[in-house]
Amino acid sequence: MKTVQRDLLDAALADREAFSAIVKQTESMVYGLAYGFFRNRAIAEDLAQEVYLELFRNLHKLDSDMHVINWLRQTVTRKCIDHSRRKKHRPHLDLDSIPERKVDPVEWDPILADELGRKVAELPVKMRTVIILRFQEDLRLSEIADTMDIPVNTAKTLLRRALLRLQPKVAHLEREVRYAPARQNQPA
C-alpha cells in the first residue's frame, strides 16, 4: 500500500509557523470564494476565519497535502451556503471594497464587473455557487460536483439554468462590451 504525503499537514500540527504557511498559500482562494459569493468584505473575512479554524481542528483527518485545497473549497462553499440560509442574506455592494480576483482580465472594467457581480448575486444559492466555482475559480464540472457534493449532471443542470437565468439580465452588458472599443477609437 502506497503511503500518502502528509509532510505539510504533520508540520502544521506541530508548528504554528507551518500552519501559517498553509493559510498564506490558500488565503486568496478562500477569501475570493467567500467574497464572490456575498460581495461583502466583512462577511468574507469572517467566513475565511471560520474555515481556517475548522481546518486547524481537522488537520489530523486529512489524508494528504493535496487534499487541503479540495477540503478548503468544499468547506468555504458549505459555510457560504449555511450563512446564506441562516441570515437570509440579501447581497449588497460595499463601495469601499474592491473585488479581489484570482486572475485579472486583460481589460478590467469595474463598472461592468460590478453590474455582473450584482446579477450573479441575485441568483439562488446553488446557482450562484456553481457560477462562482466555474467562472471565478475556473473549476471543471466534475470538480464543482465534488466541491458541492452533488452529481456531475446536477452541476451541469445548475450551470445551464443559471446561465439561462442570467442571459436576459445581462444582455445589455454584452452590447456594451461589444461596442465599447469602437467608441474609444473614434476621433475626438
User: Are residues 42 and 81 both part of a single domain?
Assistant: yes
Q: Which of 74, 100, 126 is the last residue of a domain?
A: 100
- In terms of domains, do 174 and 82 share one? no
**Structural domain boundaries, residue 155:** 104-181
- Asked which of 100, 134, 153 is the last residue of a domain, the reply is 100
Residues 92 and 163 in one domain: no
CATH number of domain containing 7: 1.10.1740.10
Q: Calculate what percentage of the chain has a pLDDT beyond 90.
A: 36
**Same domain, yes or no: 70 and 137:** no
pLDDT grade, residue 183 (50/70/90)? very low
Q: Which three cell numbers stand for residue 114?
A: 460590478
The average pLDDT across 149-178 equals: 84
Same domain flag for 94 and 131: no
Higher pLDDT pick, 166 / 112 = 166
> Is residue 187 included in any domain, yes or no?
no
Residues 93 and 111 in one domain: no
The closest alpha carbon to 84, from 52, 39, 53, belongs to 39
pLDDT of residue 187: 44
Distance, CA of 139 to CA of 149 (rounded, Å):
14
Measured CA to CA, the distance from residue 95 to residue 184 in angstroms comes to: 26
For residue 71 the three cell numbers come to 477540503
Given a cut of 90, whether residue 155 has pLDDT beyond it is: yes
For 79-96, the pLDDT digits (tens) are 998 888 877 645 555 545
Q: Which of 100, 130, 161 is the last residue of a domain?
A: 100
The residue ranking higher by pLDDT, 22 or 128, is 128
Q: Which of 30-39, 41-50, 61-70, 152-161 has the lowest mean pLDDT?
A: 61-70
Least confident of 17-31, 62-76, 128-142, 171-185: 171-185
CATH number of the domain where residue 111 is located? 1.10.10.10
Q: Give 154's Cβ-side CA count (13 Å radius).
A: 11
Name which residue leads in pLDDT, 104 or 112. Answer: 112
pLDDT at residue 52, as a whole number: 93
Residue 137 has pLDDT above 50, yes or no: yes
Is 6 among the domain residues?
Answer: yes
166 and 114 share one domain: yes
In this prediction, residue 30 has a pLDDT band, given cuts at 50, 70 and 90, of very high
| Co-location of 117 and 59 in the same domain | no
User: Where residue 61 falls among pLDDT bands split at 50, 70, 90?
Assistant: confident
**Position 188 in a domain:** no
| One domain for residues 17 and 65 | yes
Whether 142 and 91 map to the same domain: the answer is no
Tell me the torsion sign for CA atoms 29, 47, 99, 118. positive
The answer on 108 and 91 residing in a single domain is no
Is there a single domain that holds both residue 82 and residue 1? Answer: yes
Q: How many residues does the chain have?
A: 188
Q: What is the pLDDT of residues 112-134, one digit of tens each?
A: 778 888 889 899 999 999 999 99
Q: How many domains does the chain have?
A: 2
pLDDT, position 114? 83
